[in-house]
Every structure is written in C-alpha cells, then in structure tokens.
Amino acid sequence: MTLNIKNHPCFNDSSRHTFGRIHLPVAPKCNIQCNYCNRKFDCMNENRPGITSKVLSPKQALWYLDNAMKLSPNISVVGIAGPGDPFANPDETMETLRLVREKYPEMLLCVATNGLDVLPYIEELAELQVSHVTLTINAIDPEIGQEIYAWVRYQKKMYRDRQAAELLLENQLAALQKLKRFGVTTKINSIIIPGVNDTHVLEVARQVASMGADILNALPYYNTTETVFENIPEPDPLMVMEIQGEAGKLLPQMKHCARCRADAVGIIGEFNSDEMMQKLAEASRMPKNPGEHRPYIAVASLEGVLINQHLGEADRFLVYALDEEKKSCTLVDSRPAPPPGGGKDRWEALAAKLSDCHAVLVNSAGDSPQTVLKASGIDVMSLEGVIEEAVYGVFTGQNLKHLMKSSQIHACKSGCSGAGNGCD
C-alpha cells in the first residue's frame, strides 16, 4: 500500500492545520540523560517532550487509538515519542507499531529517538512502513556533546563524559545512514542551547545534510527546573531565526514545531482536550490486554497492612477488588505463592495463580520475574506504604509517586536525573 506522506503535519507545513497526529506513550524508559531534561509526569500545564499524563501498554494504546480516532477523525499520523526513548523500550515500541499497522494499514507511522539504540530495528521499521523517523542530534563534536549529556547507557553499561558523547554520536550517524539506505524520511532535531551549542548547530546541519537528512528542526531549548541547565536562559527569537535562516541554505527547515508532549493528540499547537485525556486515563486503568477480564490486584505483604515484601520472598499474595460504591478496595482472596526454586517455571506458575490480576504490588522484584509476569499481562509495581491507599490508587489511576520506593524516584519512570541504573 502506498502511503500519502504529504499528510504528516510535522514534516509538511501545509498539512499541519488539516491533519492531526497522536503520540502513544508506551516508552517510559530512557537510555541517556540530557542536561536539559526532567521527565515529570502529570504536568498538564506544560507542553514539552518527555511529559505524559499516563503510560500505556501496546494493547492499551491500540484501544486508546481506536477511541481517539472517533473523537478526532483527522488523525493521519501515529507516533511514538516517549516519554523516554522508543528504543530503550523496543518490545513495547515495536509491538505497538505492529498492532497499529495491522489495524490501520493507511496510517502514517513515525518515531522520535535519540538514535542510540535504533540501529537493530531499522529494517523492521522499513518493513512496517514507518515512513518518518526523527533523530535528535545536538552535537557532532564530542567536546560539545559531553556538555549536553550526563550519561549514556548502552548494552547495560554506563558511559560518561567524552566517551558517552562519542558513542552516542557514532550510533546516531550510523542510524541516519541506515535509515536513508532503507528510504525512510528522516528529520533531525537539533536543540539550540545558548552558550553550549548555539554556534555549533550549523555544523550539525552541514553534517546531516551531507548524509541525506530530509529536514532539520532547529528548535529552541526549553528551560526546565531541576536540571543541570536550569540557569541557562532560552534563546531569543532572533537567535533562533538567524540559525534557521543559515541552516535553511543547507536543507529544508521545520519552523512550526510545538515541542509536543509524549501524549500529544490532535492539531499541532492545540492542547489535548479533556475528553481525550479521559480516554487516555481510562486506557491506563485497563488490563494490559484490554480484552481480558482482570478485575483484581495482588499484594505482597507480611501482615496485611503494608506493602513490605520482595516478590520472591512472599509466601502468599493478598488479592483485592475495587468497591466503586464505597470508593475503596476489598480483600477477596489469599493465594499461596509457588514454592521457591524452579527459575522461570516458578514465575510462570505465579502468573497462572494471578491470571485474574492486572497488577501485583511488591516492595521490590528482580528482572526475571518482572519479565515473565509482564509477558503474562501482569504489571509488577514496586511501592511502599499502606495497602489500601496503594491498591485504590492503582485501580483509579492516581499519581502514586509518593508511594514509590525512594530508590525508584530517580529511575526511568519518573524524573530521570539519577545515575541511570534503573534502565534494565
């Protein structure tokens, strides 16, 4: 099927008042830490990358898309732009793209990435007719790049300083080269940061133009509190205009970027409607696979009051249901955990025992059980505090950041300003 790529409002200025886009927030983890980025959730008054109200599973995202299309039938593009990086979450990203392509064969698909981990997926992206990819390249000189990035996490190893900038740049340029080899329209985002790379953006433009990039989005840096760059002022409009003008001599410019949220939907520049956000929240409260009936939440607890057991140490799980009339939760069952040992078989047995639960709340959990339970549609959430508050909050889609374990506060699913060790 031939897609009409002219209907992409981000890549074609003449389409942006007619066609809308939707970003599906299925990618919470990030593999780098930019010194200008603080990815806080639930900041509804802010319109910038890295922000989302909810995070969805791929099948929740498809349900949400189905309903969004009814509310905004002019949507021509489905994109994945975070709130982390799509390819720090490759399973979720690729499954979402497959689901959308199967159900909406005429839909334009796009992703926005920092380019660190996209290389292994480019061939399948082309097969899925992902027609547009955005790469954010802020520097082609590692000396400048190391001032922009606090760390890079690649293949489970941390890199910092110049080594991090060199690795990121190497993968970005290789990704650009491969995307163009597979015929994917590629936009380069280059963020103008005064005093850091403002005099360097033209060098970025020159390099990517020579490699076949289709369009450049030289966009002003957004000043964000609680970041390394919080004291750097945003560039004035004249600086932005001059850089865009000079870069425009090298390749076409995108000048209508609205620095969209990771859950943006509708016409560029318009705020998400309340009705659309209600559908997003509704999708997030569903089972990971919305067609399944999973009315319960399981909890690991020593005494039945607090969430205070590691998943692997729990000898039983308390199972709760939502009481909508009383606006509370009710204990409905206590189920013995599978006996210790057995590796993956143990976690598959636990998934079977909790097959009617869409989440299990624990004090902590290892990677292996999380992977198995997640594949079975059960979300593993590491929290601490009173069971009733946490369970009711999960059932109703509340912000539970205050119940997240302190070691999780700076991990990948919140303001990602820590050491990056939570990105497995």
Do 35 and 159 share a structural domain?
A: yes
Is residue 342 located within the same domain as residue 281? Answer: no
302 and 231 in a common domain:
no
Work out the angle between the directed axes of helices 344-353 and 367-375 (0-180°, nearest 10).
40
My answer on whether 26 and 174 are in the same domain is: yes
Closest CA to 357 of 339, 374, 338, 340: 374
Q: What is the CATH number of the domain that holds 379?
A: 3.30.420.130
Q: Give residue 3's pLDDT.
A: 53
Q: Tell me, yes or no, whether 311 and 270 share the same domain.
A: no
In a domain, 424, yes or no: no
Within-domain flag for 378: yes
Does some domain include residue 414? no
Q: What is the pTM of this model?
A: 0.73
pLDDT at 269: 62
Same domain, 75 and 164: yes
In a domain, 51, yes or no: yes
Residues 104, 241: one domain? yes
Residue 161: Cβ within 10 Å count: 15
Nearest to 41 by CA among 423, 417, 416, 414: 414
What local confidence, expressed as pLDDT, does residue 211 receive?
96
129 φψ region: left (φ > 0), alpha (ψ -120 to 50), beta (else): left
E strand residue ranges, 182-272: 185-192, 215-220, 265-266
Q: How many separate domains does the chain show?
A: 2
Share of the chain above pLDDT 70, in %: 86
Task: Answer with the residue of higher pLDDT: 421 or 102.
Answer: 102
pLDDT in tens, 352-375: 999 999 999 999 999 889 989 988
238 shares its domain with 210: yes
Residue 66 lies in a domain: yes
The pLDDT-based confidence of 187 (bands split at 50, 70, 90) is very high
Alpha carbons 163 and 146: distance in angstroms, whole number: 8
Q: How much is the pLDDT for 268? A: 67
* One domain, residues 281 and 359: no
For residue 420, pLDDT over 60 is answered with no
Shared-domain flag, residues 159 and 303: no
Where residue 19 sits, what CATH number does that domain have? Answer: 3.20.20.70
Rounded Cα–Cα distance for residues 316 and 362 (Å): 12
Per the domain annotation, does 290 fall within a domain? no
The phi and psi torsions of 396 (rounded to 5 degrees) equal -100, 5
Mind listing the pLDDT tens digit for each residue in 251-307? 999 876 656 778 888 776 676 778 888 888 888 877 777 777 889 999 999 999 999
Whole-number pLDDT of residue 287 = 75
- What's the domain range around 354? 296-403
* pLDDT above 60 for 40: yes
In this structure, the answer to whether residues 176 and 281 fall within a common structural domain is yes
Residues 275 and 315 in one domain: no
Q: Return the closest-CA partner of residue 208 out of 161, 233, 173, 243.
A: 173
Question: 127-138 b/e with 16+ CB inside 10 Å = b?
Answer: ebbbbbbbbbbb
- For residue 140, being part of any structural domain is answered with yes
Domain boundary among 285, 319, 344: 285
Predicted confidence at residue 284, as pLDDT, reads 83
Domain assignment present for residue 291? The answer is no
